[in-house]
Amino acid sequence: MTTTGATLPGAAGAAPIPHRSPGRPRDARCDQAIIQATLDMLAEGGIAGLSMEAVASRAGVGKATIYRRWSSKETLVVDALATLSGSDEVDAPDTGVLRDDLIAWVDSARRKSWNTQWGRILPRMLAEKDTHPEAMSLYWQRVIRPRRERVEEMLRRGMESGELREDLDVDFVADILLGPVTYRQLVRHARAVSPEQVVQVVDLVLEGIRRRP
C-alpha cells in the first residue's frame, strides 16, 4: 500500500524465486506505528498541523525511517488515510426492502460522521483539498466511494425492479441523501441530524424518485 513502490513482505505471494534482499529487513512495526501516529495527528491538527518531526517522535522512530518508506509528507498522509477505508466497513444490512435499506445506510453515515476519527478528518481534508489535491482525491477513492457504491447498488436494483423511476442519476440521488447529513456536520457543527430527520429525508427523496403509478 506504500506509494514508493517498495515491496512489503508478504505482498508478493508465492514468487518463483524468493531471493530475499540481504541486510536487515524492514521492521513492520515501524510502518504501523508511523501510520497510527500520522492518523492521530491528522485528527488533532490537520495536514497543516502535522510535522514529520512530531510524527517520528510520537511513533518512536527516526525521521529517516519515515523517509525510507514515504518520499514526502503528502505520500505519507495519503497512505495513512487509505488505511481508514478497510477498518470502517459500512455496517448497513441488506434486507431487500428499499426504504429500510436506505434509512439504514443514511443512518450509518450519520453515526459515522459523529465518530471522532471520521468526523474530524473529513473537514480537515476538505479544507486542504486545494493545497493537497492528491490527498483529497485518494481519500475519496479509498474512503468515500466504497460507501457510496453500496447505495448506488440499492438504487440500481430499485430501478430494475420497477420500484423507482428509470431515469435516475443515482450519483446525484446519493448526494441528495447524504447532503443534509454532511452539511449539518460540517457547516453547523452543533446541530446534528437526528435519526428521525434521517427518516424524513429518505421518505422525502423516496417520494420524489419512486415510479409514478
> Which residues are near a second copy by CB under 8 A?
46-48, 120, 122-124, 126-132, 136, 140, 144, 169, 171-172, 175-176, 178-184, 186-189, 191, 193, 197, 200-201, 203-205, 207-209
Say which entry of a second copy, DNA, none residue 65 contacts (CB below 5 to 8 A, set by partner kind).
DNA
Among 12, 15, 64, 190, binds DNA (CB under 7 A): 64
Three-class DSSP labels, the chain: CCCCCCCCCCCCCCCCCCCCCCCCCCCHHHHHHHHHHHHHHHHHHCCCCCCHHHHHHHHCCCHHHHHHHCCCHHHHHHHHHHHHHHHCCCCCCCCCCHHHHHHHHHHHHHHHHHCHHHHHHHHHHHHCCCCCHHHHHHHHHHHHHHHHHHHHHHHHHHHHCCCECCCCCHHHHHHHHHHHHHHHHHHCCCCCCCHHHHHHHHHHHHHHHECCC
If one asks whether residue 16 binds DNA (CB under 7 A), the answer comes out as no
Nearer to a second copy, 18 or 130 (CB): 130
Among 7, 44, 60, 165, binds DNA (CB under 7 A): 60
Say which entry of a second copy, DNA, none residue 146 contacts (CB below 5 to 8 A, set by partner kind).
none
Among 26, 58, 150, 157, binds DNA (CB under 7 A): 26
Choices 50-58, 91-99, 158-166, 194-202 (CB under 7 A): range interacting with DNA: 50-58
Residue 70, φ and ψ in degrees, nearest 5:
-125, 140
Nearer to DNA, 48 or 204 (CB): 48
Under the rule (CB under 7 A), what is the footprint of DNA?
19-27, 30, 50-54, 60-65, 67-69, 71-73
